[in-house]
Amino acid sequence: MSALLGGANPQPHDAITALIASATLALGLSGLTFWLWIQHVAKPARALAASLVYMALPYHLAIDLYARFALAEVWAFVWLPLILLGQDRGKQPVALPVMALGLALLALCHLPSLLLVIGLLMLRALIMAIRTRRRFPLTSALGATLLGLAMAALLLAPALLDQGAISMDEMQRGMFDFRRNFLDRLPTDFDDWRFRGQLTLFTLLTLFTLLLT
């Protein structure tokens, strides 16, 4: 998306303009898609308030946007409500296409978020299936997932075929070490303490904000 906003012949000194435009658009769209999802179960004022809260979640705004400028994750926040919207539409004709489209766009933006969302999607589908005593929620979620992955094959296929060009050793060092995020390991130095402290703080703030909503 950022590349599209940069135009056909982007200049290096204009890159920041496209990046800021992309971040601004993603933030606004995240509020819009959240409102589209929540407005059918909440009153207009509450739906609007919840959408603004979603846009201003500490992890979303403070960490992803301001601290890390992680545009891929910022855009991931746009597609999650769209996926849930499709799932909540049940047997309506738009349900499956909306779910699949949201999953495909999420796959094109941020694969780690895709894995988490697929798990959430299946869990919600299982709960719906138990409540309704029907298999449709499960088959619908599975079908949307497969269709979404097929739609994103343009990215996923080359990524799978080029695994040999990726150095996993580099992805497991320093700040990228996945073990830093486990609660059963104490921080080893000041930077580690600061990282874990900030992560814990913003996680708690995010949960607190959601509870207030």
What's residue 85's pLDDT?
A: 94
C-beta separation of 43 from 64 below 8 A: no
**Average confidence (pLDDT) over 150-156:** 90
What's residue 183's pLDDT?
A: 59
Q: Is the pLDDT of residue 83 over 60?
A: yes
What's residue 25's pLDDT?
A: 92
pLDDT band at residue 155 under the 50/70/90 scheme: confident
What's residue 84's pLDDT?
A: 93
What are the tokens at 1?
């998306």
User: Token match 């926040």: residue?
Assistant: 77
* Nearest partner of 79 among 120, 138, 124, 21, judged by Cα: 120
Q: What's the chain's average pLDDT?
A: 83
Interior angle at CA 119, CA 130 and CA 23, nearest 5: 130
Q: Cβ atoms within 10 A of the Cβ of 68, count?
A: 11
Q: Is the pTM of this model over 0.85?
A: no
Cα separation values, 104 from 50, 68, 95, 154, Å: 25, 24, 14, 10
3-state SS, residue 136? helix
Looking at residue 94, its amino acid is V
C-beta separation of 153 from 100 below 8 A: no
